[in-house]
Every structure is written in structure tokens, then in C-alpha cells.
Amino acid sequence: MKHPFERVRGVRVREGESLSKHTSFRIGGDARYFIYIDSRRALRRILEISRRDRIRYFPIGAGTNVLVADAGYDGAVLKLSGVFKRLRRKESVFWCGSGVLIEHFLREATKAGYGGGEFLAGIPGTLGGAVKGNAGAFGHAIGELVVAVHLMDEHGLELVRAKSEIMFTYRSTDIDHSRIITAVHLRLKKKNRRIIRSKIERNLSIRRVRQPVGYSAGSFFKNPPGRAAGELIDTCGLKGMSVGDAEVSRKHGNYIINRGHARAADVVELAERVRKAVRKQTGVALEEEVRLLS
């Protein structure tokens, strides 16, 4: 049976694709459609068809900050490839497709002798996802580097928003979920390559010491103002708490780990128990950083 995207050029469509293979949690049901998109023209056509046929869509990067429901996603999951993975530089400004991995961006910037983004070292994911969620660490966030963001809306119209037109807040922006980030412009500073590499390695070393291994989505809760979510969870004695095969990491309280066979429902229930316990014992209301896709 043909699907509505059958005649679109520059895409690869998989029906009933397991989303557990596309997320760092390794959890989740199937997507109705999983679409690899290689060009802006193809993306525009996919969005037009989705709007016409009332098909929901969700752009996914490296799947590092999302928890997919056990029932999956009855819509189109969009994976930007092809031109969306290109990177080029003009002096200190890097033009990056939204599908470029953070790791690749840092590697190319270091080769060119440009720094300022070393705090991103060790953060998994793509630049599009990083900008959408204003990812950061060590007291910095990617919004500090942004010059402009290219977007495509649900009608397939392209627009560019300068940094001054975007509200960057802690682990969030005001970029509407219906708009897809297609490219970002980031400004770095000319630096000594040896110093850049040293700082990146130091940050990676800190992460290796602090962060647990295993299937997770990284920090599950946002840090409340002036507090650290992991410390609050630790203080409340919640490390090691589990539901099914989902467990609060014994190494870092703000990580929920899939021990191998956890369901999304297990993670959701465990997160709710943690939130209630922290609220009861400290009066602090934790807010999820991880997005639930259902």
C-alpha cells in the first residue's frame, strides 16, 4: 500500500520504524513514518503533504533529549540528512546544517583554530536540537554563540531569525515546535588550537567522572534557580529508586537509566515519584528537561 510521501524525491521513508533505535534511551514504540530528508525542497514537500493530510510531524536529531511513548508516534518523524549535515565557515562564523553533530562541529572548529564552544564537549546530539533547547554546561549555553537561525514553518516557508529575535532562556527558546530549524550560524573566537583541545579534554574528563554510563537522556530535570537537581535528588535519598527496569542512577541523581528493558511508562512513573518526593521534602518543584513524544 502506497504512503502519501511516495513520490517525494530526496527522501527515504520507513513505515513502522522502531523509535527505540533512534533515541539514547533505547525506549519507545514505532513511528507511523520515519523519513530521512536530504534537501530543503524535499523538506518543504514533506511539510506540505503533512499539512494537507493532517499528519503530525516531529523533527528528531540524535534522539538524546526525548522519551518516546511505548505506543509510539502516530505521525511522521523527520530526520534531516544530506544538505542538513553540511558545515562551512566564513571567518569567525560557522554555517552549520541543523543535522551537524556537536562533536563534528567542535572538531572542525578546533582544526580551524576557533574556540568558545568548548563547554559543549561531551554533549551528544545535533546543533539543531542543541539550539532549540539552548543546550549548555559549565555555566554557558549555545545561545551565547548564535548569530542567526534558519527555520522552515509548517507551510514550507523559510525564514531567518537573528539572535536578537529569539528568546534564549535556561534550556529553552521561544522557537515554536511547528517550525523546523534547518541551519544555524555560530560565531566563535580565534584561539590557539592546543588551548582549545586542552579545554575540551578537561571538560570531557569532568563528564566522565561525574556522569553514569548506560541508556539515558542525560539530565532528566532542569536545575531549579540556584540549585542542582541532582543534589536535591541525592539529598532526598532517591538514588537507586527504580520502577521496572528504569532506575535513578546511583552515580548521578539527575540521570534516569534504562537498565536494558525499561518501558517509557516506567520512566514516567519513576520521574513522577522523584518529583513528588523532592517537592514534599524540599518544597522545590522539578521540571523535566527531557521531552515526551507520544
Q: What is the CA radius of gyration of the chain?
A: 20
The residues that bridge with 293 in the sheet, in sequence order, are 68
Reduce the DSSP state of residue 4 to 3 states and report it. Answer: coil
Q: Could you give the CA distance from residue 266 to residue 3 in angstroms, rounded to a whole number?
A: 33
Q: Tell me how far apart the 2 most distant CA atoms of the chain are, in Å.
A: 57
Number of Cα atoms under 13 Å in the Cβ half of residue 242: 14
Q: Give the three cell numbers for residue 257.
A: 537509566
Angle in degrees, 0-180, between the axes of helices 193-210 and 102-112, rounded to the nearest 10? 150
Reduce the DSSP state of residue 270 to 3 states and report it. Answer: helix
- Is 263 a residue of the active site? no
Residue 217 near residue 23 (C-beta atoms within 8 A): yes
Catalytic choice (219, 247, 263, 275): 219
- Is 158 a residue of the active site? no
Catalytic choice (171, 187, 273, 279): 171
Residue 22 near residue 214 (C-beta atoms within 8 A): no
Residue 97 near residue 130 (C-beta atoms within 8 A): no
Range list of β-strands (E), 116-226: 136-137, 140-141, 146-152, 158-162, 168-169, 172-173, 180-187, 189-190
Q: What is the DSSP letter of 16?
A: E
Amino acid sitting at position 127: L
- Is 289 a residue of the active site? yes
Number of Cα atoms under 13 Å in the Cβ half of residue 262: 30
Length, in residues, of the chain:
294
Q: Could you give the CA distance from residue 284 to residue 227 in angstroms, rounded to a whole number?
A: 9
Q: Which residue has the cell 534511551?
A: 25
Residues known to be catalytic: 171, 219, 289
